Structure formats: structure tokens, C-alpha cells
Amino acid sequence: MKYRKLGKSELMISETGFGCMSIPSHDERKGISLIHRAIDLGINYFDTADLYDRGGNESVLGMAIKGKRDQVIIATKVGNQWKEGESGWHWNPTRDYIFSAVDESLKRLQTDYIDLYQLHGGTIEDPIDETIGAFEYLKAVGKIRYYGISSIRPNVIREYVKRSDMVSVMMQYSLADRRPEEEMLNLLHENNIGVLARGSLAQGMLASKPAKDYLGHSAAEMEKARSVITSLVKDNRTAAQVALRYVIENPSIASAIVGISRIEQLNEIARTMESDELSEEELNKLRQVLPAKLYEQHR
């Protein structure tokens, strides 16, 4: 496994990270076993959220890292508040909610601090300075080490770049979603803000799952993209690894965060960086298969 510095932080994170949302919530033992295996394989970045399974996802991760806290980088998210006695949640990026939510996350994670605390969304109408102030306070008192946002909204990202000291942005990025290439990646790179890429396998369609319409691309176009990826498979490089390498080899990307639910999947993802690097010719072949689009909303 190789590691990269996350933006302007001191966090050295694995180039492939573990997206904990896919951990089976009904089987704690399996989830803990997967996390332990990931640590053995060199993955040190684990990403969860208080939203997932009403905090149950954080709890499983907390149990798994007991006695291993110094080996892992823990990232969680805040902003989606569950409705009392109801299903669903509402958006709450206020200072008071963030202060109460972080304490609950710390309890579930069984740790004294969170390495990376992320705003789980964000709108341009938010009290952005209040939200930033809450994160800065949590940093000052040692409850979090760094903060970032999880967003694909260009207008929100630009405001946090201008007004905050965030170290990261988590955003969707893959061969099938190249929108970040057109306007976000350079901006973040220039400001030394690390990018955590999610959705790098496009719901599995770039690896093995059946194609369907996706983000303005037809099912036929998605099938064509997978066909090109498959043409680049070698003895030591699977289709999933080709798709992940397309993301990770972009210098703006700190880590590709992949949702993992099975041991076979984990073994393949963790060994991505042992596979052959994509040549410039192969990268160009991949870039030509689907057009890069622009974000249409949240301008």
C-alpha cells in the first residue's frame, strides 16, 4: 500500500480507503473482521458518517479499532439530523448541532478525537461562517484534528475554499463522472486541499455490474466504457483496478474511497496499487470513451 498526504494536513492516508457505509449492519462480527483485514492489508483510512444506520456504522467501526487506534485515520461526517421518533432526517449545519453530534460520534467510535470531521453536504444558504467556526473550535479543543466537506456543489466548494481552513473535499469522481476534472480538481490542487474520491466504480458498472443510464450517459455508453476498461485488463490488473487507477493516478486525488462489503472485494481493492500503472496511451484511451461534462446545478 502507498500513502499520500491529505492536503495541507499531516495525515498520511492510504491511496485506497475503506468506505464503511457498505459494512453489513446486521453482522457486526463480519464488519469487524473486514476492517481488521483491511488494516492488515495496509488500508488506514476509514470513512463513515453519523447518518449511516443511525450511528450504528460508527459503532461497528469503533468496536473494530479498539486497541488499533494508532494504526488508523478515522473520518466521519455531520449535518444530517435524524428526526425524533420518525424516519428520515433534516439538514442541520448549525454550531449547536455540530457540538452535540460530535460528542455522540466520539462515544460511538470509542475515541477521544476524530482525525477528519466532514460536513455531510452543504448548501449555499447555510450559515457557512457559523459552521466553519464550529469546526475551528472543535479543532482548538482537540475533539477533531482536521475538517473538510463532502460535496459536489461548485458554489459551496468555492465558498469553503475562500472562507475556511479545510484540508479536504470528498466528491464523486470516476471515468463515468469526470465533472470534477473540468473545474474543481485544479482549484483544490492549487489551494492544497486534498480530494477524496467516492463512486470511482460508478456503482460497480465500471467493473462487473450490468450497465444502466448514469449521470447523463446512456446504458450503451456505460457498456462501451466498461468494454474499454476490460480491454486494458492484464494478468495482474483487473477491471476494477483499471477504473480505480484512472482516479488515483490524477495528482489531485489523495485517495479513492470504496464501499467494501466482501473479503474478495477488499483483497482486490487493497492491491490496486500493486497492479500495473496506466500508461499515457491507456489514459488517453479511457478519456476518449466518455465526454467530460460540467456541473449543471449549484453554480
CATH number at residue 35: 3.20.20.100
The Cα 247–Cα 275 span in angstroms is 14
Confidence of residue 265 (pLDDT cuts 50, 70, 90): very high
Strand, coil or helix: 242: helix
Find out whether 245 and 277 touch, Cβ atoms under 8 Å. Answer: yes
CB atoms closer than 10 angstroms to residue 89: 14
Tell me the per-residue pLDDT of 40-70, one tens digit each, with 9 for 90 and over. 999 999 999 999 998 899 999 999 999 999 9
Using left for φ > 0, alpha for ψ between -120 and 50, and beta otherwise, residue 88 falls in: left
Residues with Cβ < 8 Å from 57, sequence gap 6 or more? 20, 21, 23, 25, 48, 49
Which of 178, 257, 256, 260 minimizes the C-alpha distance to 214?
A: 178
Which of 20, 120, 116 minimizes the C-alpha distance to 74?
A: 116
Q: What is the mean pLDDT of residues 27-31?
A: 92
**What pLDDT, on a 0 to 100 scale, did the predictor assign at position 24?**
77
Confidence of residue 158 (pLDDT cuts 50, 70, 90): very high
Q: Is residue 219 part of a domain?
A: no
Domain that includes residue 125, residue range: 3-205+245-275
Q: What is the mean pLDDT of residues 1-25?
A: 94
The Cα 88–Cα 86 span in angstroms is 6
Q: 52: number of CA atoms within 13 Å, CB side?
A: 23
Find out whether 130 and 122 touch, Cβ atoms under 8 Å. Answer: no
Question: Can 52 be counted among the known catalytic residues?
Answer: yes
Give the three cell numbers for residue 273.
Answer: 496499487
Answering whether pTM is above 0.85, one says: yes
Mean pLDDT across the chain: 94
Q: Is residue 145 part of a domain?
A: yes
Handedness of CA 84, 87, 90, 96 (dihedral sign): positive
Q: What is the mean pLDDT of residues 280-286?
A: 96
Q: Is residue 239 part of a domain?
A: no
**What pLDDT, on a 0 to 100 scale, did the predictor assign at position 6?**
98
Q: Is residue 221 part of a domain?
A: no
Number of domains in the chain: 1
Strand, coil or helix: 45: strand
Q: What's the one-letter identity of residue 57?
A: N
Residue 270 phi, psi (nearest 5): -65, -25
Note the helical H segments in the chain.
28-40, 56-64, 95-109, 128-140, 154-163, 179-183, 185-190, 219-231, 239-248, 263-270, 280-287
Q: How many helices and strands (H and E) does the chain possess? A: 11, 12
Q: Is residue 126 part of a domain?
A: yes
Q: Is residue 36 part of a domain?
A: yes
Q: Is residue 229 part of a domain?
A: no
**Catalytically annotated residue among 52, 117, 173, 214:** 52
Q: Is residue 109 part of a domain?
A: yes
Q: What is the mean pLDDT of residues 33-43?
A: 97
The Cα 149–Cα 161 span in angstroms is 10
